[in-house]
Amino acid sequence: MDLLDGLLQLARVDARLDAHCDLAASWALAVPAAGQHEMPFHVLLQGHAVVRLPGQPELVLGPGDVLIVVGGDAHRLEGSAFADGTLLCGRFLLPVAPAQLLGSLLPRALRVSSTASPGRVPLASVLELVRLESEAPGSGSAALLRHLCAALLALCLRANWSDGEVVPGLVALARHPRLAELALAIIQRPAAAWALDDMAQRAHWSRSSLIRAFQAAAGISPAAFLLRVRMAEACRQLLEGNGSVDAVGEAVGYASAAAFQRAFKREMGLTPAEWRLAPRVAEAVALPRRMRLTAA
């Protein structure tokens, strides 16, 4: 198991493909802000597009590009005045705590090309399957698209991991052997006594050197990373297991029930018991709607 495996096991990614869009010249699409457990994504199969996000530089998409709006911000896509195309729109669905963890390690918008290098063949192959199932759906296509789209997140992160620009976040953390090993150890054993001294010893650094190196690579402190991993694992255990709240707190590294309750309420906005009992409605799986986008 590597760091990406560990993060994706925590994330429990689901997905929906919402729309298959045929694009006319000068098309435009405004997308509202996503829910707190959603990451919108777009796949441009043909054509070109400009993406406008608040407070971000414009992004240009070409054929075979995938855009993941990690922060869920409202955004707008605009097409060329001279070309038609095809755009797929969907959402990755994640529990809130894993979404916060990934969001802290990724840019607010992540663009990945499926054609940039031979190493992108798996991503390009899955995109072709998604295209085929959405253009000519058959028996079981809705379920197939759900799982194919969920796989897109892992493929995009792996592609970005392998040759993406090294900026603070997931890529830089993964490329630093000692820090990646420490991060994976935290994910695998969140209940361990991960005091700063223990982390520093594991990474063979002083406390101050570890803090500086982790912050520079990941963009967050080792303590913040540990907290978000523990919250993600606690949410998973509360949702999937039958153990008591106190047992879950102990299983993710809290020495007292009170400390776990305080940390969970501060991060999640609810107590562990309230979060476990909160109503959850499973979103139905359906085929994407077919639509045509025309000039704004």
- Residue (of 31, 19, 23, 29) closest to 82 by Cα position: 23
Rounded Cα gap, residues 83 and 65, in angstroms: 16
Q: What is the pLDDT of residue 168?
A: 82
Q: What is the pLDDT of residue 126?
A: 96
Q: What is the pLDDT of residue 166?
A: 61
- Per-residue HEC secondary structure of 193-241 comes to CCCHHHHHHHHCCCHHHHHHHHHHHHCCCHHHHHHHHHHHHHHHHHHHC
User: pLDDT 10s per residue in the chain (296 long)?
Assistant: 899 999 999 998 999 999 999 999 999 999 999 988 899 999 999 999 999 999 989 999 999 999 999 999 999 999 988 878 999 999 999 998 999 999 999 999 999 999 877 778 899 999 999 999 999 999 999 999 999 999 999 999 988 877 656 678 998 999 899 999 999 999 999 999 999 999 999 999 999 999 999 999 999 999 999 999 999 999 999 988 888 999 999 999 999 999 999 999 999 999 999 999 988 877 899 999 999 998 86
Q: What is the pLDDT of residue 119?
A: 72
How many angstroms separate the first and last alpha carbons of the chain?
47
Q: Which residues contact 39 (CB under 8 A, 6 or more apart)?
A: 68, 69, 70, 72, 91, 92, 94, 99, 153
CB atoms within 10 A of CB 239: 13
Q: Domains of the chain by range and CATH?
A: 3-166+285-293 (2.60.120.280), 170-277 (1.10.10.60)
CB atoms within 10 A of CB 243: 13
Q: What is the pLDDT of residue 205?
A: 95
Q: What is the pLDDT of residue 242?
A: 83
Is 44 buried (19+), middle (13-18) or exposed (0-12) by CB count in 10 A? buried
Please write down the long-range contacts of 188-197, taking CB distance under 8 Å and 24 or more positions apart.
188/1, 188/6, 190/226, 190/229, 190/230, 190/233, 190/251, 190/252, 190/253, 191/250, 191/251, 191/252, 191/253, 192/253, 193/253, 194/226, 194/253, 196/222, 196/223
